[in-house]
Amino acid sequence: MIIIGLDPGLTCTGWGVIAKAGSRLSHVANGQIRTDITQSMAERLVQLDRVLTDVILAHNPDSGAVEEVFVNVNPQSTLKLGQARGVAMVALARAGMPVAEYPSKVVKKALVGTGGAAKQQVQAMVKVLLPGVHLAGEDAADALAVAITHANMLGSHR
């Protein structure tokens, strides 16, 4: 089974693709999509959709998961994050796959054992769980963490 995880953001969306065979997980690919901040909101969302669609077509995942929005102190930032998250969910759903959502605390707890884990701890566990992975950046590491969480949740539902 191929699983894609997404860490949505308007400025940078992380993506990570893993393969699950039984209880074994392996890294397939990861990356970050940076939008052009000089473009309008609509153009940035189209750019995000276009690149996500290309990633989905390239890796043909069976299932996808997206990190849930957390509420920022700045309502404008929360709104922009929500719009990027909506584009991410539509891109996955349009490809015909089921889409799961996980709060950041659940992802951190699944990987590190505590919902309050630091980003560096999450990255370290991603590297342990996917030996040899070269992370494209923090957002890509978070996306792989979402994919790993989803892979483990799929196993627990069966």
Structure confidence by residue, pLDDT tens digits, 47-94: 999 999 999 999 999 999 999 876 667 788 888 888 999 999 999 999
Domains of the chain: 2-157 (3.30.420.10)
Residue type, 113: G
Question: Cα–Cα distance between 135 and 121 in angstroms, integer?
Answer: 14
Question: Cα–Cα distance between 110 and 125 in angstroms, integer?
Answer: 10
The DSSP bridge partners found for residue 6 are 15, 66
pTM: 0.94
Does 67 participate in catalysis according to the annotation? yes
Note the pLDDT tens digit of each residue in 88-122.
999 999 999 999 999 999 999 999 887 888 889 99
Does 54 participate in catalysis according to the annotation? no
Question: Which alpha helices (H) appear in the chain, and where do they start and end?
Answer: 41-59, 75-94, 104-112, 119-129, 138-157
Does 68 participate in catalysis according to the annotation? no
Active-site choice (62, 101, 139, 142): 139
